[in-house]
Amino acid sequence: MTTELLDTPVTGTLALDLRGLRKSFGTVRAVDGLDLAVRPGEVVAFLGPNGAGKTTTIDMLLGLAEPDEGTVQVLGLEPTSAIAAGRVSAVMQSGGLLKDLTVAETIELTASFFRGTRSPKEVMERAGIADIADRRVGKCSGGQQQRLRFALALLPDPDVIVLDEPTTGMDVEGRRDFWNALRADAARGRTIIFATHYLEEADAYADRIVLVSHGRIVADGSAAQVKSLTSGRVVSASFAGPLDEAALRALPGVQDVEVRRERVIIRTTDSDAVARHLLTATDATDLEIAARGLEDAFLALTTDHAESTGSIA
Ligand SMILES: Nc1ncnc2c1ncn2[C@@H]1O[C@H](COP(=O)(O)OP(=O)(O)OP(=O)(O)O)[C@@H](O)[C@H]1O
């Protein structure tokens, strides 16, 4: 079930225009009827659990795989034409770097293969690696190598950058530096689409989250909009003695009760009823009521239960 939240009319040439995309591998429907329109300048997170169809969609976006059905246009062109014209670049997860070259040599060598690229100095600055220009690639951290791949992708000065899980395996600091460099560059108007299964990355760095599950889009909007698709609140409290979980589950609106050590966490559509019960019928203390986060929306929207019942709309 698709939940289209962005209601601004789509006008002008789209950065990305995917229509009715389908792709199967044997009996596996990797992409199962996917429509997506991305406007120039948007930073879009393509978020979904393992096997949701993100990489397959990105491969079709980059002309690396042919759709069984549907069409893909990048800046109004076939993907391969857009890439040949230097208007779209990809940042891949691994490979493609020579460990004995320095950062600057890697960029200079790549630039020498093409005509009319941006200057190596400029792309290093944009990718935040000018200070490590003389470092050998083999000595760079995972995050620095990924920023180098980003610098290489910037060489043709593309209008669109596509990244497939670019920060997998990087530590927190490396991921933050990578995204800060990317975000700063995106502020200049480049369109960016990245696949991720890190919720916090999607939340922190994308203007728009496209949530995919089983090859289909199940939610599409800002992080706040996607979060708001899961109604209700999370009530939590500490308790010292035994807790009657069954009594909590029986309260109106309660969807889920979880006990973590001495704290109980209750997902509910009626937080008042839960709070009243906890404070009057139990010895619970430190009560907190919070809006549901992106993780809750992610789980609710991508579980088989939500899909098969169509309960999220
Ligand atoms: N070349 C292939 N041959 C067979 N099955 C494939 C192939 N590529 C992908 N699949 C299957 O298609 C489905 C979608 O895979 P895809 O890699 O697109 O998902 P993903 O969302 O990128 O997942 P992940 O986050 O794990 O990378 C999965 O069930 C996967 O096993």
What pLDDT, on a 0 to 100 scale, did the predictor assign at position 224? Answer: 81
**3.10.180.10, 3.40.50.300, 3.30.420.140, 1.10.10.10: which CATH number matches 16-227?**
3.40.50.300
What is the atom index within ligand 1 of the atom nearest the CA of 52? 21
User: What distance in angstroms lies between residue 260's CA and the mean position of ligand 1's atoms?
Assistant: 34
Work out the mean pLDDT of the chain and round it to a whole number: 86
Ligand 1: which of 22, 25, 302 to mutate, most ligand atoms within 8 Å of CB? 25
Gap between the Cα atoms of 63 and 100, Å rounded: 31
Gap between the Cα atoms of 300 and 277, Å rounded: 26
Burial-class residue 250 by CB neighbours within 10 Å (0-12, 13-18, 19+). Answer: exposed
- What string of DSSP letters covers 212-237? EETTEEEEEE-HHHHHHTS-SEEEEE
302 CB under 6 A from ligand 1? Answer: no
* Ligand 1, atom 12: closest residue by C-alpha: 30
User: What distance in angstroms lies between residue 215's CA and the mean position of ligand 1's atoms?
Assistant: 10
Phi, psi of 27 (to 5 degrees): -90, -5
User: What distance in angstroms lies between residue 57's CA and the mean position of ligand 1's atoms?
Assistant: 10
Domains 16-227 and 231-291 in one fold: no
| Alpha-carbon distances, residue 281 vs 206, 241, 260, 265, 273 (angstroms) | 43, 13, 20, 16, 11
User: What distance in angstroms lies between residue 35's CA and the mean position of ligand 1's atoms?
Assistant: 18
pTM beyond 0.80: no
Is the complex ipTM higher than 0.90? yes
Q: Does domain 231-291 have CATH number 3.30.499?
A: no
User: What distance in angstroms lies between residue 250's CA and the mean position of ligand 1's atoms?
Assistant: 40
Of residues 287 and 172, more confidently modeled? 287
User: What distance in angstroms lies between residue 96's CA and the mean position of ligand 1's atoms?
Assistant: 22
Range from 71-75, 179-183, 227-231 that averages highest in pLDDT: 71-75
The predicted-structure confidence for 237-290, as pLDDT tens digits, reads as follows: 999 888 899 999 999 989 889 998 889 999 888 999 999 999 999 999 999 998
In the chain, domain spans = 16-227, 231-291
| Alpha-carbon distances, residue 14 vs 17, 91, 234 (angstroms) | 6, 21, 39
What is the atom index within ligand 1 of the atom nearest the CA of 59? 18
* Confidence check: pLDDT of 72 > 50: yes
53 CB under 6 A from ligand 1? Answer: yes
The predicted-structure confidence for 154-166, as pLDDT tens digits, reads as follows: 999 999 999 988 8
Specify the residue for token string 């929207």.
Answer: 301
What is the atom index within ligand 1 of the atom nearest the CA of 49? 25
